[in-house]
Chains A and B, each alone.
Chain A
Amino acid sequence: MPAGGSVLKAKTFFSLFWAFFVISAVTIGGSYAIVPIMASRLARRGWMEEQGFYDLFALAQAVPGPTTLTTAVFVGQQLLGLAGAAAAFLGIMLPPVVSIILVSLLYGAVAGNPLVQGFLQGSYGTVLGLVAALLVRMLRARKWRIHEVALSLLCFAALLLFRSWALPIVIATVILVRLGALAWKS
């Protein structure tokens, strides 16, 4: 990959790893919080223009997995090839995995505490509310075609009835939506 634009800071395995490690460690609240921070930090280091970054972010959303992780790996690969992808992977993965292991150790000791339970119950309520809000936003953002509405409802019912079959149900839905879109055109 030829170096493009002004390189303010050397792109090495360690500098990439450290950049993603810091972003991952200090950002709480999912990909929609972390992605803008990643964009501005990469631009400030002169590693990547925001436009190029958001192209990769869009690409990452077409791939399964946590968007933060997949975006970072695409960015790392573009900046420094395979070593860059590995640096991004480790940088993004280490903070949550280590902090969750520490929290898990702590959880065993404090899970019985009524105040901790109260805190977790309260937060859980907000989690439900945020998921509901996300659902409303996604429903509104889409221009629905009739076959998509029907397939979504069918998929939802199937997911509730056959909980262990989520993977085949989702794959079948994706195939049917694609076929429906083709039929629509002809």
Chain B
Amino acid sequence: MEILNLAWVFFKIGVISFGGGWTIVGVIQHEVVAAGWMSAQTFADVVAIAQVTPGPVALNAATMIGFRVAGIPGALAASLAVVAFPMLAVALVLVLLRSTRVDQKKLSDAFRVATIPLIAATLVSLSITPSLAWHVWLIAAGSCALSLFTKLDPLLLILGSGVAGAIIAAVRL
């Protein structure tokens, strides 16, 4: 059953989705390409689309991949699966907070240490697997610098670079 497999893969991804979506995009890419659901090139499109539509990037990617694999039922299965474990964790925290004062801070600090290598691994997978044109690298370096040294809205950067990419494509036609 492709839908069960889809749900299982995204449930597992939900378990390690600490510290925001970017930690797990690399893992999603690996799982999805390994399952033969999509090429790394198409996954790059999914990532770009997930970033310019409302919603958390990991959830958007799950919905879109689920849709490609098994239509609307697939989209719903993958979306619910990726948030299933987080919702269990929320319920658990609420129960724990009611009974005892747990020192969550130390555990979440340990998770933060693991988040950093996950983001680094995401960056590596996203950079090496699809073949990228030279101007994509330039845009990447430029927006990294702009994000670090200015207060420009990231959404403006994403849309601006999209328009720049479309113009470059038009010139090449």
Give chain A's interface residues, CB within 8 Å of chain B.
24-31, 33, 59-70, 73-74, 77, 85, 89, 93, 95-97, 99-101, 103-104, 107, 111, 114-139, 142, 148, 151-153, 155-156, 159-160, 163-164, 166-167, 170-171, 173-175, 177-178, 181
Contact = CB atoms under 8 A, between A and B. Distances in A.
15 contacts: A25-B54, A33-B154, A61-B19, A62-B107, A69-B83, A100-B60, A114-B169, A118-B169, A122-B136, A129-B140, A130-B143, A131-B25, A133-B143, A148-B113, A164-B31
A119 B163 contact: yes
A120 B48 contact: yes
A160 B33 CA distance: 15
Interface string B14-32: 1111111110111100110
A121 B165 CA distance: 6
Contacts of A96: 53-56, 59-60, 63
A114 B166 CA distance: 8
B112 to A, nearest CB: 7
Interface of B: 12, 14-22, 24-27, 30-31, 34, 44-45, 47-60, 63-64, 67-68, 72, 75-76, 79, 83, 85-87, 89-90, 93-94, 104-127, 130, 132-133, 135-148, 153-155, 157-170, 172-173
A104 B64 contact: yes
A20 B26 CA distance: 29
A69 B14 CA distance: 13
B116 A66 contact: no
A117 to B, nearest CB: 6
A159 B124 CA distance: 11
The A contact surface, by secondary structure, is helix
Contacts of B75: 97, 100-101, 104
A156 B117 contact: yes
Given A129-B143, A174-B114, A65 B161 contact: no
A81 B50 CA distance: 31
Contact of B56 (A31, A117, A120): A31
A85 B93 CA distance: 13
Contact of B86 (A63, A104, A178): A63
Nearest to A92: B55
Contact of A62 (B63, B79, B111, B165): B111
B141 A129 contact: yes
A174 to B, nearest CB: 5
B57 to A, nearest CB: 7
A114 B24 CA distance: 29
Nearest to B51: A127
